[in-house]
Amino acid sequence: MALAIIRILIGIFFVVSGFEKLINPYENFLYVVQSYELVGKPLDLLTAWFMPWIEFILGVFMILGLWLKITLRGMWALLIIFIFVLGQAILRNLPITECGCFGDLLPLPLAVTVAMDTVLLITVTFLRAFIQKTSLLSLDRYFLSKQ
Amino acid sequence: MKISKPAVTALVIVASVVFINAVRLLMDRARRLSPSQVSAARTKGNPRAPIRIVEYIDFQCPGCISGSLLLKEYIEKYPAQIYLELKYYPLSQIHRHALKTAVYSECAARQNNFWPFFYTMLEKRSVWERMINPDSLFIDIAKQLRLNIPKFQSCAENEKTKTDVLNEKAEGRARGVQSTPTYFLNGKMLTGPKPLREELEKFFKGDSL
């Protein structure tokens, strides 16, 4: 049960992060993407448009326990990307004072965000390893029982 | 009623998209309703200009400074074409003097000396940024500009000035501003000096200053 609760909490975390970016003007997150100086046009525009949707939808799927194996894999990949992007910004000493990951909601320094994402990555790895327990209270289980 | 997993998946995605777009619509309406007032002392250029820019800045943010200097150059070159309104958006959680600089600038604005105070303050940025208490430096600038010093000081100490600055920031947040510099060029939101430069170059047909 504990793993299922952790799964739901991580889902809420991603939903909030995606929601905050989605309801605010797109230009804010575009500025964040551009400040990491990793992708040029039009990739920055695409990233700023798609990333919040990916976060939000993955979060919803995680809460509902829908396509859990794929969702966890997606979340794992997303966290690896976040850690890489933040890490390169720290190494290159880019003038970014806060990560911009949660907009105005939670301004966090880069190092703190890397630490937080690493903890999330470990947790998601753990959830993947114990998928049976993670999938308690999930739609996946419901559909499996119907078969 | 039997419902398949792919159908539930599609339903969840559609519901998410509808929900987010409904919230966006409501937020957009609220943003349009938010007031936009600015002290006349913080405006520049031709009020009937075809380009109207509202600039939200924090005086300690490097992007804001380069954006402000870019706008200064464009306004000097095209004074009839641009109208600028400057608004405060101090990011006090990351810049220790953000609120203080906005408050002092507002006090200079109330004596109709905002722009000279602002540009002098930008020139001396490297000095006051390192100071724990830069008040004396700001008062020196006010003296150089021949402002009424007792009035300037009492304005800076007045909580109401701080509240006015923070209200302007809240107004910016209600319009969707989250970071600085953010510009509204004829209503179009631009975040960062780079898109501002691109839009101005587009308007002035490739005239990059």
Residue B141 has pLDDT above 90, yes or no: yes
How far away is chain A from the Cα of B11, in angstroms, using its nearest Cα? 12
Cα–Cα distance measured from residue B99 to residue A29, given in angstroms and rounded to the nearest whole number? 24
Tell me the pLDDT band of A102, cut-offs 50, 70 and 90: confident
Choose the closest CB to B20 out of A23, A97, A143.
A23
Which among A86, A76, A88, A69 has a CA at the least distance from the CA of A120? A76
Cα–Cα distance measured from residue B104 to residue B115, given in angstroms and rounded to the nearest whole number? 12
- Which residue of A lies nearest to B16 if distances are taken between CA atoms? A57
Q: What is the pLDDT of residue B151?
A: 92
Decide if A139 touches B, using CB distance below 8 A. yes
How far away is chain A from the Cα of B112, in angstroms, using its nearest Cα? 32
CB B82 within 8 A of CB B91: no
How far away is chain A from the Cα of B189, in angstroms, using its nearest Cα? 7
Domains held by chain A: number: 1
**Residues of A (56-95) whose Cβ lies below 8 Å from B:** 56-57, 60-61, 64, 66-67, 95
Say if pTM beats, i.e. exceeds, 0.80: no
Q: What is the pLDDT of residue A101?
A: 80
Residue A76 has pLDDT above 90, yes or no: yes
Q: What is the pLDDT of residue B35?
A: 47
Decide if A104 touches B, using CB distance below 8 A. yes
Most confident of A75-79, B122-126, B194-198: A75-79
B28-69 per-position pLDDT tens digit: 777 765 545 567 889 998 888 999 999 999 998 888 999 999
Tell me the pLDDT band of B93, cut-offs 50, 70 and 90: confident
Residue range of the domain that includes A20: 2-146
Would you list the DSSP string of A26-87?
HHHHHHHHHHTT---TTHHHHHHHHHHHHHHHHHHHHHHT-SHHHHHHHHHHHHHHHHHHHH
Q: What is the pLDDT of residue B178?
A: 87
CB A76 within 8 A of CB A121: yes
Residue A105 has pLDDT above 80, yes or no: no
Q: In terms of CATH architecture, what is B40-203?
A: 3-Layer(aba) Sandwich (3.40)
Residue A39 has pLDDT above 60, yes or no: yes
**Residues of A (2-61) whose Cβ lies below 8 Å from B:** 19, 22-25, 27-28, 30-32, 34-35, 56-57, 60-61
Cα–Cα distance measured from residue B77 to residue B89, given in angstroms and rounded to the nearest whole number? 27
